[in-house]
Amino acid sequence: MSVLNKLRKLKELQEIDQEIDRLEELNEKIPRQISETENEEQALDEELEELKQQRKELIKRRDRKETDVQDYEGKIEDKKSKRFNLDSQKELESLNNEIETLEEKMADAEEEYLVLDDEIEKVEDEIREKTAEAQERFSELEEYRKEREQQLEKNQEKLEKLHEEREEARQELERTNSSLLDKYERIRDRRGQVLAAVEGETCGGCHQKLPPQLINDIREANSLQYCEFCNRMLYWHEDLNGGDQESS
Ligand SMILES: [Zn+2]
């Protein structure tokens, strides 16, 4: 196999590997994306639950005020009924004062009752609004989750095919040039990307400046050449891209 053919075979393998890496990386993100939507839903639920709790407390306080008003009312009635059995003007004045005080307290309690009633109405409006918002958001998130799950499935199907393709390419190389395959796998384990194009005067993998003699050797393509810094296999991009690369 000529050096260029070797490089071409390895580049095919590398393209498969890069696509596998890309899809696996995407697939790793998807469960996280899904759990983020679940967290958001939970936060919305908690917000609503808090408002409902607030409403419950307000209702309790309002009901207590209602009881207070009824109590005062009873006491006032009671005092009023005693007005006719009094012996002196002084006793009547004192009783009237007591009634007045009770009436003031009752008016305060009624006022507080109304304030609480208003607050309850506001909280209920907020609950209605938030519930509608949450429902809308929930269906958006559900939609998004479905889309992510479908994407995951699609990626997995693609990955299965790619792994098959890779296995074929690997087996072919193993038959024809197993030491080349070993080299490829070793560099891939360490660097991920195995082949790097020469970019100007630098290695396209690590961007270190390459000696001119090495660049000449790469262009001549009589043997495989490696970057002395990152150890990747180097190629002259026009050789593997059929000259369709924009470069000078
Ligand atoms: Zn390098």
| Ligand 1: centre distance to CA 23 (Å) | 25
Calpha distance 98→139 (Å, rounded): 61
Tell me the helices (H) and strands (E) count for the chain, helix number first: 4, 4
Q: How far is CA 102 from the centre of its chain?
A: 59
| Ligand 1: centre distance to CA 203 (Å) | 5
Instruction: State both tokens at 176.
Output: 């024809």
Residue 234, strand partner residues: 196, 225
pTM listed for this prediction = 0.76
| Ligand 1: centre distance to CA 173 (Å) | 24
pLDDT grade, residue 241 (50/70/90)? confident
Q: What is the mean pLDDT of the chain?
A: 94
Q: Which residues contact 20 (CB under 8 A, 6 or more apart)?
A: 159, 162, 163, 166
| Ligand 1: centre distance to CA 37 (Å) | 41
Nearest in space to 155 (alpha carbons), one of 35, 18, 22: 22
Q: How far is CA 130 from the centre of its chain?
A: 21
Nearest in space to 196 (alpha carbons), one of 236, 241, 248: 236
52-70: per-residue pLDDT in tens? 999 999 999 999 999 999 9
| Ligand 1: centre distance to CA 206 (Å) | 4
4-24: per-residue pLDDT in tens? 999 999 999 999 999 999 999
The residue type found at 79 is: K
Calpha distance 113→63 (Å, rounded): 8
Query: What is the fold of 15-192?
Result: Helix Hairpins (1.10.287)
| Ligand 1: centre distance to CA 25 (Å) | 24
| Ligand 1: centre distance to CA 228 (Å) | 7
| Ligand 1: centre distance to CA 224 (Å) | 14
Sorted by where each begins, the domain ranges of the chain are 15-192, 193-248
Calpha distance 95→122 (Å, rounded): 41
